[in-house]
Amino acid sequence: MTSYRQILYHIVFCTYNRENTISQDQEESLFRFIHGVIKKRKGFLYRINGHENHLHILSDLHPTIALADFIKEIKTASNSWMKETGKYPLFTSWADGYCALTYTYRDKELIISYIKNQKEHHQKVTFEEEYRALLNEHGVVVDERYLF
């Protein structure tokens, strides 16, 4: 018998101090770069999108890779790449921490749609409101001292 798994991770992380340092005209190249990092780690990217101060990623995770290591590699590699390219002059770094939520495969299209519509979503809701709602929806106990 072999082992099987299907775990979708909705990963969210933001820029340092939630500063608006990801310009819309450069985000596609950032998304392609992160896609390459995920692929290198044997993951599959279902969707990536974001706004000026944060990213949403929906991907699976190869069972040999620890979630914390996966996210650390995405953030570290993209941090270096963003600084080296010179295309993100306002970017200083990613903030510490992240949010990683799991979903069932049957929710995949719903989460893809949610991530796909980030620009429209953030015309009505701030990142802080969105982040708090995601954590509450998943029953994550929040320590307000460390939230923002």
Tokens of 90: 């306002």
- Residue 124 inside a domain? The answer is yes
3-state secondary structure of 50: strand
- Of 44, 101, 54, 102, nearest to 78 by C-alpha is 54
Look at residues 90, 70, 78 and name the one whose alpha carbon lies nearest to residue 22: 90
Q: Is residue 2 situated within a structural domain? A: no
Residue 75 maps to a domain: yes
CB-CB contact of 100 with 9 (8 Å) = yes
Give the containing element (helix H, strand E) for 49: strand 45-51
Query: Which segment, 38-42, 121-125, 138-142, is predicted with the most confidence on average?
Result: 38-42
Q: What pLDDT is recorded for position 142? A: 85
What pLDDT was estimated at residue 147? 74
Q: Quick check: pTM over 0.85? A: yes
Q: Per-residue pLDDT tens for 18-75?
A: 999 999 999 999 999 999 999 999 999 999 999 999 999 999 999 999 999 999 999 9
Residue 73 DSSP class: H
87 in a structural domain? yes
Q: Count how many domains the chain has.
A: 1
Gap between the Cα atoms of 2 and 88, Å rounded:
45
Q: Is residue 12 part of a domain?
A: yes
Give me the domain span that covers residue 86: 8-147
d(CA 20, CA 127) in angstroms, rounded, equals: 11
Q: Is 21 contained in some domain? A: yes
Domain presence at residue 137: yes
CATH number for 134: 3.30.70.1290
Q: Is residue 1 part of a domain?
A: no
